[in-house]
Chain A
């Protein structure tokens, strides 16, 4: 028996659906969100934004704005050019010539909603009036809002100095797709598919407070920063300010789902104004602003798609050209150009994958990571092609998937590009989902509905939620980016009175980190869940963080919990040293149980943790000097994900540590007269390894499902030909409410990850599965009348599908 096994108490909280620690304050409206904290002498920032998709700024007149009561200041683009450096770009030449600042750069606006002037007043209302009084003259320039047009030589350039609208281009070629296509029994071809833009729709839009202390020449930024250390790097670069005098803090914040990874951009403007005015500056984003500039999910065109299939139903591989419409600025892009390769195989045993991928600028709002970032688009394409192939070639859609899924006994499964799927049981997940929707009964219902004017469709959506990135993937974009691996930090300590404190480097925006951290720490320290105090929010100045700290890419259950666990184990060791010295035992003979450190073989010899704390904090002279010198009752540790550098030439290597699976199934009904889709039954089956808190997992699955269904049926950031966003607020943009959704049936399968400390996997990004399932369900209902080649299915499109939409775009060529 190892020392760790000897001293680890049996888990009593981990794995249980304990009540969320956060909910008490949140449900009583006692949370502290970005706009809640009172400030002394605040200045309120409002951005004057571009109404043009592309235009030259010819004149800015703030003279009348300065007369508005309450006016404090106005920050102009020319000042930003002088006072800041452009934000860093990830892409190599020529895309690295892009210049991105907190206000429109080079005298040009590039999308509707781009900030042009930042004004400050002494009240929010006054700031709005000030902004309304700023007069900006524009000279409209040609614009491009369609990535397919943007790649043409004659297209207007979004960034003149880049010289092309292709920000990044790569060809990924694994296996031998050409051979597979040439020799497969069947080839299914589709000319073009389209994955649409939609919102992450965080409950709270962004709110940022910038404070500047002239005495110490230091900034503090408070707000929803999903990656605090990367935010620090971006802010110090832009503001030309030392990192040692810049702090990024978050308290409660209401959702991110990826988009709050770029909040350093508006924060830079707030920082400049805070320093200039000598007063705290607060910017509170409106929903309309969020829709314009807060970040859209990646829009992608898939062209010239081919799937190679054998007579026996074996799918050999897939190939396509991708045009990823990233909008006017790359920001976190073009990382999406490599992120999708984490799931190159999707859920299937492909041997050949070839993709030509281009990240394309258009005069639209920039994209930011959004739940299922970049992988969702690829997996939607694969799911559509699997669905179409089954239909076109006469395979049963269930059997076709079951046959081609990565099988349980194949894990760990190495994909075509060297990623390693850690564990899973997709066939069981699918069967569970089908049971939950009563698949057999649904097929009978489908038959009964024929000829009634209502069509029933059954859809399946299989997806992966890859978590814990290997940041070396950035080198696939640009070999000079010095990132690799992944780490997270954690801190667990015992205070002077024996209280237990835990601080994670992760950033919580609703995932229940305070709860899951407390569960794990409580078990390791042998105390109750309520005895562990977990710090709310994050603070870049605390030693709990590492460079990659934050919450993104479904990793907290692995990296955040891994770091906390390592930190707690260090603390356990310190407690053992103190207790052993005091109780006359060896450290290995000490276990932590029931709030005490006790001798395993003689439990009556025990010290309460408060007594251990008392000795260390107030009476260290009682301890042998070797122990007293070593022990501070602070466990600080890092979790390092075990990654290596990929082969850049082959674009081959493991890019992510865990793969949670989501298999969804739905039964839906189409009204032939209106095209309206109603979901009759919906099942989501999750497998994220060993659960830490099943209730939290189910809650995240529920949220992701609602988000995905909403995206499939209601949510779309459409632009008109003039580059105007047609859904700039919730009046025009419908995010599903409970009234739009069915009750979800939930099931779970547990396939522990062999690669993570407790077998858990990151999860919560399964938002793609509903898009896959609903598209498949609509296809099933439409039958041979049309082909679903768009991810967004509003009633008018469903009606077109019933009248032959897209039939000419897909075919079996062999």
Chain B
């Protein structure tokens, strides 16, 4: 399924762009933890969104795709037990009144048991979770 959202940030597009090359800053993103870069350059860690079902904790692998001054493409896989969510995320940032306007869209594919009953709610949950992590990332970009 496809989901999308927009947020505003006080960080400038340049600051947001810089996040991609400053992984240390991502340690300040509360919903992400144990971040490491593995031997092939993938970012691995844990994602614990607070905006969805409490206690949801996913092992995530983030693969950066095309990144430029105005946008970034990321492939994110989150897994927990037999469940898996693959997200192809496109983030665009443009100057806003007090920083940046971030528009994102994602192709979300749910696999495993979550693909059954979870399909009914996963759109809302994914929208919230992606929005939450992007808001937190944007916040640390401005620090």
Contact = CB atoms under 8 A, between A and B. Distances in A.
Interface of A: 48-49, 51-52, 112-113, 128, 131-133, 135-137, 288, 720, 722, 724-729, 731-732
B59 interface: yes
B115 A726 contact: yes
Contacts of A136: 79
B112 interface: yes
B128 interface: no
A727 B116 contact: yes
A722 B111 contact: yes
A288 B111 CA distance: 14
Nearest to B82: A49
A135 B82 contact: no
Contacts of B59: 133, 135
Nearest to B117: A731
B17 interface: no
Interface in B86-129: 109-113, 115-117
Interface of B: 44, 59, 61, 77, 79-84, 109-113, 115-117
A55 to B, nearest CB: 10
Contacts of A135: 44, 59, 79
Given A51-B111, A52-B111, A135-B59, A725 B116 contact: yes
Contact of A128 (B81, B111, B115, B117): B81
A726 B113 CA distance: 8
B115 A729 contact: no
Contacts of A133: 59
B111 A729 contact: no
Nearest to B81: A132
Contacts of A52: 84, 111
Nearest to A132: B81
A732 B112 contact: no
27 contacts: A49-B82, A49-B112, A51-B79, A51-B84, A51-B111, A51-B112, A51-B115, A112-B112, A112-B115, A113-B82, A131-B81, A132-B80, A133-B59, A135-B59, A135-B79, A136-B79, A722-B115, A724-B110, A724-B115, A724-B116, A725-B115, A726-B116, A728-B113, A728-B116, A728-B117, A732-B116, A732-B117
Contacts of A728: 113, 115-117
A135 to B, nearest CB: 5
Contacts of A724: 110-112, 115-116
A112 B115 CA distance: 10
* 4 closest residue pairs by CB, A with B: A51-B111, A51-B84, A51-B112, A724-B115
Contacts of B81: 48, 128, 131-132
Nearest to B116: A728
A288 B44 CA distance: 29
Nearest to B112: A51
Nearest to B85: A51
Nearest to B109: A722
A112 B82 CA distance: 9
A49 B114 CA distance: 13
Contacts of B83: 51
